[in-house]
Structure 1
C-alpha cells in the first residue's frame, strides 16, 4: 500500500478578513513555493512531487496570530519542517 503524503497550509482567518482572499492566497502560494525549494533534497518532498497528478494539499485556518504561533511552536518541538510567511511588519500570516 502506498503512503499518501499531504501538505498542510494553515492560514490566519483574521488576516483573511482584514486583507481579503487574494492576499492570503498569495501568501499561501509563497509559503508552499518556499518550503518546496528549501526541502527539495528531502526524500519526502521528492516523493510528494514524483506523482504530481495525485498531490494533495489541505488548507486549514486558525483564528489569530497567537494560535498560529502556538502551532509553530508545536511543530518545532516535533522537528516538523515548515515555512512561515510574514507581512512587511513581520506579522506571521500563514505556514506550509
Structure 2
C-alpha cells in the first residue's frame, strides 16, 4: 500500500511519492508494533503477606526493589526484558501479596517447575523469603500462576496502632 492508493489524500511528512510513503508506512507500523509489544508486557511481584503486615512499609518496598533489580539483571538479555525496558515511562508492574511464607514458597516451586524465570528474594541474615519477582512476561503467559493472589495492601502504621 502507498499513499497513492488514497487518491491524493496523502498527508504524511514525506509527501505523496509512493516509495517514500511506503517506507514511512513501514517504519510507522514497525514502531507501532514495537510499542504495542512493550505495552503487553507486565512484571509481577509477589510479596510475603506476613512481612507486609508486620514490617515497616519502606522495608517491604525495599525488598520488592531488591527482587526486581535482581531479576532484571539476571534476565537482562531476555527478549521480553529488553523490550520492556525500551519504554521506561510506561512499564507495567503488578504487586500482589501471598498470605504467608508457605504460599510464597509454593509459588516459587510452581514457577520453577514451569520454567518461569523469576527471583525469590531472601532477606539475610534472617533467611526470610520476602518476595518473588518475575521477569517481564506477556500477561497471558504467566497470569495463571499469580491470579489467586490479591493486590497488596501495605499497612500504614499510625500512632494508635503501635
Whether the TM-score (by the shorter chain) exceeds 0.5 is yes
Q: Deviations over 1:7-44 (max 9, x none)?
A: 00100111112212111100000101111111111111
Q: Does 1:11 align with 2:47?
A: yes
Q: Decide which of 11, 17, 21 is 2:57's aligned counterpart.
A: 21
Q: Deviations over 1:41-74 (max 9, x none)?
A: 1111000001112110000001111000110011
Task: State the structure with bigger RCO (CA 8 A, min sep 6), 1 or 2.
Answer: 1
What secondary structure, in the 3-state scheme, does the structure 2 residue paired with 1:70 have? helix
CA contact (8 A) 1:13 1:64 kept: yes
Superposition RMSD in Å: 1.1
2:121 corresponds to = 85
1:63 corresponds to = 99
CA contact (8 A) 1:16 1:23 kept: no
Q: Decide which of 54, 66, 77 is 1:30's aligned counterpart.
A: 66
The alignment of Structure 1 onto Structure 2 pairs a total of residues equal to: 96
CA contact (8 A) 2:49 2:101 kept: no
What secondary structure, in the 3-state scheme, does the structure 2 residue paired with 1:80 have? coil
Q: Decide which of 84, 88, 92 is 1:52's aligned counterpart.
A: 88
CA contact (8 A) 1:15 1:24 kept: yes
Scaled by the length of structure 2, what TM-score is found? 0.57
Q: Which runs of 5+ in 1 are unaligned?
A: none
Displacement of 1:93 after TM fit?
A: 0.5
Q: Does 1:43 align with 2:79?
A: yes
